[in-house]
Amino acid sequence: MLLLIGFGAAAQKGNKGHSHNDYNQSSPFYGAYAAGMGSVEADVYIIGGKLLVSHNEEDTDPGRSLDKLYLQPIAKAFKNNKGHIYPNKNKTLQLLIDIKSNHKQVLATLITELKPYLKFFDQSINKRAVRILISGDVPPPANFKDYPSYIFFDGRTTNVYTSNELSRLGMVSESIGTFTSWDGTNPLPADEKLKLIEVVKKSHSWNKPFRFWGTADNIDVWKELESIGVDWIGTDQPKKLSLYLKLYPSLDQK
């Protein structure tokens, strides 16, 4: 589950890559950053008053905090690049924070932990700031307004949102397993492809970027996801996805 940065109905070509469960990489943040990913994902739990990064609560480690693995490196990158997250000033980043449980306490702690870094995460201060995207245990849409404007939320196409609530969505996500078990081994069945296209269209009708989670992680799947208009492509192979995005022309630019 994620912290992500979204930019309109479609993510920019260079920002399509989302480093899924990035904290499991051999070099959290830095590997995805070197690969030029546009989004990184961190699952969090609140333990002892701090946000710790792990997929399972029993595996949390005080030495693997959100602050140490992500907030500090992001702040350092901005300083190194004179106010931009990447040396390429046109590239942006999204931090998708997947809250596993207890969103009220986690969000309160997140707001506190972000205070020293707001110029790197608040787009009202720096328009190129990293966007914080909350997924997982997300507050009810009616409560989005209770949180600072620099915090955005992951939506679902099955939800109904007011215009004000929609303004707080940074992305819309669905499990691909809801619609198909396709893994790229064979062609995507036409009826299942149509279902995927329709759900992407709904997100785009809200002018929000879209992501499927639970997708198979291979080039054939990446190509198909692009062809149906998916904006964020999740991967456990940031380097390989980065190479794919560089070598294959963007279908939305044809």
Q: In sequence order, what are the beta bridge partners of 235?
A: 19
Report pLDDT digits (tens) over 133-186: 999 999 999 999 999 999 999 999 999 999 999 999 999 999 999 999 999 999
CB 152 within 8 A of CB 169: yes
Instruction: For residues 35-53, give the mean pLDDT.
Output: 97
Q: Is the pLDDT reported for residue 104 higher than 70?
A: yes
Kindly state the percentage of the chain with pLDDT values over 70.
92
Q: Is the pLDDT reported for residue 125 higher than 90?
A: yes
Instruction: For residues 176-204, give the mean pLDDT.
Output: 97
Instruction: For residues 198-221, give the mean pLDDT.
Output: 97
Q: Which CATH class is domain 2-248?
A: alpha beta
- Give the type of residue at 185: T
Instruction: For residues 218-242, give the mean pLDDT.
Output: 96
Burial of 237 (0-12, 13-18, 19+ CB in 10 A): middle
Q: What angle do CA 249, 25, 23 make, to 5 degrees?
A: 110
Report pLDDT digits (tens) over 58-71: 999 999 999 999 99
Q: Is the pLDDT reported for residue 194 higher than 50?
A: yes
pLDDT recorded at residue 247 = 86
pLDDT recorded at residue 15 = 65
Burial of 12 (0-12, 13-18, 19+ CB in 10 A): middle
Instruction: For residues 79-104, give the mean pLDDT.
Output: 96
pLDDT recorded at residue 53 = 98
